[in-house]
Amino acid sequence: MTEIQSPPDDKVRCDACPVMCYIKPGMLGACDRYANRDGELIRVDPHILLERTVVEGGAVVPFLEQSADWDGEILGAPTTFVTAIGAGTTYPDYKPAPFIVSSQVEGVDMVTVVTEGIYSYCGVKLKIDTDRHLGAECATVRVAGEPVGHVTTGEYGSQMLSLGGVNHLTHGGKKEGRVTCEALLDLCNGKAVEMAIDGGSSVIVQAGRPPIVNGAIEERMRVGCGSATIGMFAKQWFGKVDEVVVVDDHITGVLSEHQAGKVLGITDTGIKMKGRRSTPGRYFHVAEPGAGWGGTNVMDPLEIVAGFDARKGARPGLRMLMVSTTGEQHAYYELDEGLTPVQRDLPAALTESVERIKENCEPALCTVLFMGGAGGSLRAGVTENPVRLTRSVKDALTTVTAGGAPVYVWPGGGITFMVDVTLLPENSFGYVPTPAIVAPIEFTLRLSDYAALGGHMDHVRPLEEVRREQGKKQIEMPSRPGEDWPLHPPRARVS
């Protein structure tokens, strides 16, 4: 419980973050996480404990309220993991973490140090599966008109955005910081956020859901670039059509020129493409990016074809299929006597191959990764010599998790980590109006290693004691294939 200095008018002062709210009786603090109940500072949200189950797959789901239904029976210490969700913070920074919990796992004495970090240095990385052009690289991303991030690179079938960061949270205007914090919080807690990209599209993003681009729900991400699509399906087109053009904003593929076509013995068709020829059958920049065919700005695919040359194989009756990288757009043509493409109905022999492209496209989803840097003050809640914790993490003596979920810790200095927000229980993230995001972080290591790095040994408490406390919420955490339970004894990196 946070130590409180109560003014005479029955307000209590909360020191869980730098805002230091004075909270009236029956009211909440600015962060909506702490309240004044009859002159006592309380945490509104329950503290989350994870109970491991033997069910594979599935999502983390509510299990039971310990304070209401749990009878206090110890179900087995190694299967229970104390998360930092609802645990409280180390602020002011000189005090130990709220929970330093010991347990024995596989005959090894372990300790988990639990705290909610206050992250001014944080953001989210968004992977948006879409063939549509969202915006140019470095274009500003806005929420409610305020700049909250920018477009980064376009990856294989996805557009990447980077939102948040200390500059948007603290260096812009007050409204920019507030809107940025709200957007990050909503995204991390699985809510939908609508954003607009300067010179580009509007998009609604929600973790684990399809993106909505300019009001249209995306169903598929591309099977591959135009060249890759040619390579995958060339054999299915052989003998059924003379030419195939897979329209793609990045790399448009042409079957007759492509190596896959050459291996099959497909003859030249005399087709002339716009754009820049890279290698045989691969064309760059056939059009501008947009919301049309294959992520280009064209609505009529013939716009990217410059013509046909009879001296190089073009002839009346030549059959050509044009298709996008998702199979959503397709058209079939035959050349007339003047070598002009005339659209015809798609032959039944080609319908299966178009459907096969669609079948091989994975569902379009939004991925939200929270990224934060665990600073010196947070680390001081673990040990009096914070650099030792950093070294312990780098040496794989200490396992880092966020709400029990596995994280990726970046190489190099500090403890900068990323976590998929869908792996955490619901509403695991909070905020403080400084503004900053509050996110759970746990450090698990052997008890002997914790003592060696100068940990707060006099604050270590057994798991059984923590489980008996009121205000806890027990939830199931289904085991996932290939994913370590956070309490497994870590394996040190061999140097």
What's the farthest any 2 CA atoms get from each other in the chain?
96
Note whether 223 and 246 are within 8 A (CB).
Answer: no
| pLDDT, mean of residues 27-54 | 84
Its pTM stands at: 0.86
pLDDT tens profile 375-412? 867 899 999 999 999 999 999 999 999 999 999 999 99
The dihedral formed by the CA atoms of 305, 310, 314 and 315, expressed in degrees to the nearest 10: 130
pLDDT of 55: 45
Q: Which residues, at least 6 apart from 477, have a Cβ–Cβ distance to it below 8 Å?
A: 50, 51, 52, 53, 60, 81, 404
What proportion of the chain, given as a percentage, has pLDDT over 90? 71
- % of the chain residues with pLDDT over 70: 90
Kindly list the domain boundaries of the chain, sorted by start residue: 12-43, 47-120+375-479, 122-217, 226-359
Identify the pLDDT of residue 482.
55
CA distance 218 to 143: 20
User: What is residue 67's predicted lDDT score, i.e. its pLDDT?
Assistant: 36
Q: Give me the pLDDT at residue 32, please.
A: 84
Residues 210-252 pLDDT 10s: 999 999 999 999 999 999 999 999 999 999 999 999 999 999 9
Q: Which residues of 39-145 form beta strands (DSSP E)?
A: 40-43, 47-56, 61-65, 80-82, 99-105, 108-119, 122-129, 140-143
User: What is the band of 473 on the pLDDT scale with cuts at 50, 70, 90?
Assistant: confident
- Mean pLDDT value across residues 149-159: 93
Tokens 């990050």, residue? 184
CB neighbour list of residue 60: distance below 8 Å, 6 or more residues apart: 50, 423, 424, 425, 426, 475, 476, 477, 478
Confidence band (pLDDT; 50, 70, 90) for 51? confident
pLDDT per position as a tens digit, 72-88: 443 344 578 999 999 98
The Cα–Cα gap between 75 and 81 comes to 12
Indicate whether 62 pLDDT > 80. no
| Mean pLDDT score of the chain | 89
- What confidence score (pLDDT) does residue 390 get? 94
Helix (H) or strand (E) holding 451: helix 447-452
The whole-number pLDDT of residue 6 equals 46
Distance spanning both ends of the chain, measured CA to CA: 41
Distance between CA atoms of residues 146 and 179, nearest Å? 7
Q: Which two tokens stand for residue 244?
A: 């195939």
* Residue tagged 């009878």 (tokens): 71
Per-residue pLDDT at 97:
93
